[in-house]
Structure 1
Amino acid sequence: MTDHNSSPRAVAEPAIDIADVYVFPSPSRPGRLVLVLNVFPNARQGALFSDAAHYRFRIRPVTIPAGGPGSVFEVGSDEYDITVAFEAPTTTDEAGNPVQEGFCTLPSGVTVAFRANDEQATEAFGVRVFAGLRMDPLFIDGTGYVETLATGRVTFQENGTNSAEGWNILGIVVELDVATVLGQAAGTLFAVAAETVTAGKFPLRLERFGRVFVKNQLLGELGVDKVNQDLDLRELYNSEDPFELAPDYLAAYRARLNANLAALDDIDGKIDWPLRPDGTHPLTELYLGDYQVVDVAKPYAEDSYLEIEQAMQQGRAHTTSGGRSLNDDAVDTTLTFNVTAGNGPRISDGVDQATVRASDDFPYLAPPNPDPAAIGGFLVPSKVADQLAALEAAGLVSRSR
């Protein structure tokens, strides 16, 4: 749900649908940064990466300005791209599954060849690369989450149900030696965004991902944006450059973020992010800079998602690596940050870990579920009122509870 099925295009072509992105220092190899890009929600054995699209990590140096609430990162113009591409399969393995060859192109232009689903992985030129079917590390009570958004109050149970239980995804894992691959990059603080783009000389952006819930929650149609209430902004947003938003729809993005962030703040019955006199929410500009921020000089920390962002808002120095680890409870962290600003108890959806915890060793993602259950469509909070009505009709939730 963090970004699963986040646009009509993604639903139509799951091989380019970015489910989640993770950025963290390697817990087992100091000096290395791990980038994970998951696509194809609820993938089955034999699922393929697209040979008509490229999967790209984009990395830029950032600095933290002095300030407080409302501060945003200052992003440098230097960029270090890592692009992964796949060929159409021409052979099959012993089980009859198609075999895909892949290529990882580094910022230097050097290309590392690998084979999808090769458990031995490939290591060369300062990177290790793996791509293939793995278990989805997402964990979230999707039903409780949709009900919470639709009713405007916290309705999670103490023991929630993981809506992604047993799911598989297609995962791309690139572990890079920072000194070798990023070379003379300024500083230790980096912004990382991921995207899928069309292959070819003039690539078109298909999907992009930075922080958790930006599209499916903050830009979703929660019914409180009175300016663009009937406009699904997510497909437009997907086409935007994560580091250089065009001016065309900025006003629409801001209106949606201002409205939805204010509605989230009110879920616990108190206001922790007072709006500015012009109605702007203090977090709107932060979320418009939609990328994860990681400090490669800090050691691995499992629960450090949004810590750098929170420290910047509070005017203090960050203490962790930031980014997002595979076992990080980013759902609880995001809800707590947006709803309480850290002023009060942590908000929990009652689900604290994935079906199988991720490993501390490469390729980090857990092996795939060999027999995933036939699970239906994933709950997406783009039209939460309609989804809540459907849940009520099925007897799964009750507004009067």
Structure 2
Amino acid sequence: MSDHISGPRALAEPIADITDVYAFPSPERPGRLVLVVNTLPFAKPTDLLSDGLIYRFRLRPLTAGTPGDPVPFVAGTEEFVFDCVFSPPGRAEQEGTCTTPSGGTVTFLVNDEHGGSAHGVRVFAGPRWDPFIMDARAALRTISTGTLSFTDPGSIFLDGKNVLSLVVEVDSALLGGADLVGVVAETLTLGKFTVRIERVGRPEVKNMMLAPKQFDQVNRDLELRDLYNMEDAFHLGPSYQGAYRARLNANLAFWDGLDGRTDWETDGNGDHPLTKLVLADFLVVDLTKPYAERGSFLEIELAALDGKPHETCGGRALNDDVIDTLFTQLVNAGNGPVIRDGVDHASRPAARTFPYLSPPNPDPPEPPEHV
């Protein structure tokens, strides 16, 4: 759960709370892109998806940016949207409908592991074992104490918890011939007046990089995450960009200083080199590369920043230990040892066949009282 409880609205409406987003080439069917969004922290094995939400994936083709620019990719204006909605709970079987960018629809039953297929799209939805890999308590201790607090081994917080998963497998031919795409998932209210409640691209942007207030000397009392959630991931509005930059500049500097040295030098405006990249908050996936289990997360972005060709499909795979990659870049820019949180794999790893995520835990741990 890299994005759970990422703001007051997510806490108030857990059914709309996105916990994680994944995007990777299908390991079983070449030429297919797998999109996964997990919601509802601490879901029960009998929970159903909301009939009051739109569960949305947005994809845009990417092109290379200006050499030396902190944001190495430019998102195009063309967009491919996959919207999923669900029938009201209470019936014998909940039904879902996914609308494709061309307007075609795919119907499916919730909890049917075969899913529904049509128009080059296959869809599954239902409770699943949370695949996220992280010692969350150690990360929070690191922020509160200012000292790296990871141990080996570490532990996954409340391991065995469930989430509500939506898996959409897409024929890459439906994406307009793009080689490189940006991916973001959203939950929105369903009705005449649609409001974006949550949007997620990369993991831990909101909770580890935007949430801490104590290092930000400009907006120390401002809760930014609900404002950030309402933004368009591909085009931030002008109103709060200064607040986002100030918070990220402060928090990224905190992470960089945990090893006692500075590996990321600020620019002439005092901006951290990763601030603009973080704000371009979408997963980057190369549709021409094969599935990679480990080491693909951030590889495309980091290669571009170094002026090198990338080697992997990028994105984020279900079994990729992305937190070690993320903390290593934040703390030492890859110039030192790997920053491990002591957790290297999920207790129930994902499969390489549809619907990929492991079945739900029939007896999940109880959530903490304050959640």
Normalising by the residue count of structure 2, what TM-score does the alignment of the two structures yield? 0.97
Matches within 5 A, 1:259-274: 259-274=250-265
Q: 1:319 maps to which residue?
A: 311
Cα RMSD, aligned residues only: 1.4
Q: 2:204 aligns with which of 193, 209, 213?
A: 213
Q: 1:173 maps to which residue?
A: 167
Q: 1:329 aligns with which of 321, 339, 342?
A: 321
Give the distance between the partners of 1:335 and 1:140, measured in 2 at CA. 11
Matches within 5 A, 1:300-315: 300-303=291-294, 304-315=296-307
Q: 2:186 maps to which residue?
A: 195
Give the distance between the partners of 1:354 and 1:8, measured in 2 at CA. 28
Q: 1:150 maps to which residue?
A: 144
Deviation at 1:120, TM superposition (A): 2.2
Letter in 1 for 2:165: G
Letter in 2 for 1:258: N
Give the distance between the partners of 1:188 and 1:220, measured in 2 at CA. 34
Q: 1:122 maps to which residue?
A: 116
Deviation at 1:377, TM superposition (A): 5.5
Contact 2:151 2:342 in 1 (8 A): yes
Q: 2:236 maps to which residue?
A: 245
Contact 2:213 2:222 in 1 (8 A): no
Stretches of structure 1 lacking an aligned partner (at least 5 in a row): 93-98, 380-401
Deviation at 1:46, TM superposition (A): 2.2
Deviation at 1:378, TM superposition (A): 8.2
Give the distance between the partners of 1:201 and 1:188, measured in 2 at CA. 35
Letter in 2 for 1:321: C
Contact 1:66 1:315 in 2 (8 A): no
Matches within 5 A, 1:303-382: 303=294, 304-376=296-368
Give the distance between the partners of 2:114 and 2:156, measured in 1 at CA. 30
Q: What secondary structure is seen at the aligned counterpart in 1 of 2:211?
A: coil
Measured against aligned partners, the alpha-carbon deviations of 1:281-304 in whole angstroms (never above 9, x if no partner) come to 111111111100000100001121
Contact 1:89 1:101 in 2 (8 A): no
Q: 1:107 maps to which residue?
A: 101
Q: What secondary structure is seen at the aligned counterpart in 2 of 1:277?
A: coil
Letter in 2 for 1:340: N
Letter in 1 for 2:11: V
Contact 2:184 2:199 in 1 (8 A): yes
Give the distance between the partners of 2:329 and 2:67, measured in 1 at CA. 18
Contact 1:156 1:349 in 2 (8 A): yes
Matches within 5 A, 1:217-236: 217-236=208-227
Measured against aligned partners, the alpha-carbon deviations of 1:310-350 in whole angstroms (never above 9, x if no partner) come to 11111101000000000011111111111111101111000
Contact 1:69 1:314 in 2 (8 A): no
Q: How many residue pairs were aligned?
A: 370
Give the distance between the partners of 2:218 and 2:138, measured in 1 at CA. 28
Contact 2:50 2:89 in 1 (8 A): no
Choose 260-269 or 368-377, whichever is displaced more.
368-377
Q: 2:88 maps to which residue?
A: 88
Give the distance between the partners of 1:18 and 1:71, measured in 2 at CA. 25
Give the distance between the partners of 1:133 and 1:123, measured in 2 at CA. 19
Q: Which aligned runs of 4 or more in structure 1 are off by greater than 3 angstroms?
A: none
Q: 1:383 maps to which residue?
A: none
Measured against aligned partners, the alpha-carbon deviations of 1:360-396 in whole angstroms (never above 9, x if no partner) come to 00000001111112231689xxxxxxxxxxxxxxxxx
Deviation at 1:145, TM superposition (A): 0.8
Q: What secondary structure is seen at the aligned counterpart in 2 of 1:5?
A: coil
Letter in 1 for 2:7: S
Measured against aligned partners, the alpha-carbon deviations of 1:262-284 in whole angstroms (never above 9, x if no partner) come to 11111111111011122111111
1:65–1:214 CA distance, 2 compared to 1 (3 A)? same
Contact 1:15 1:48 in 2 (8 A): no
Q: 1:139 aligns with which of 133, 137, 143?
A: 133
Measured against aligned partners, the alpha-carbon deviations of 1:50-108 in whole angstroms (never above 9, x if no partner) come to 1111000000000122524723311100000000101103423xxxxxx3111000000
Q: What secondary structure is seen at the aligned counterpart in 2 of 1:287?
A: helix
Deviation at 1:9, TM superposition (A): 1.2
Stretches of structure 2 lacking an aligned partner (at least 5 in a row): none
Measured against aligned partners, the alpha-carbon deviations of 1:90-144 in whole angstroms (never above 9, x if no partner) come to 423xxxxxx3111000000111111111122111111110000110001211111
Q: 1:287 maps to which residue?
A: 278
Contact 2:114 2:354 in 1 (8 A): no
1:84–1:377 CA distance, 2 compared to 1 (3 A)? farther
Q: What secondary structure is seen at the aligned counterpart in 1 of 2:82?
A: strand
Measured against aligned partners, the alpha-carbon deviations of 1:222-267 in whole angstroms (never above 9, x if no partner) come to 4100000011100011111111111111110010011111111111
Letter in 2 for 1:306: L
Q: Among the aligned pairs, what percent are the same residue?
A: 52
Measured against aligned partners, the alpha-carbon deviations of 1:164-202 in whole angstroms (never above 9, x if no partner) come to 4101000000011111x22x34x3000001100111233
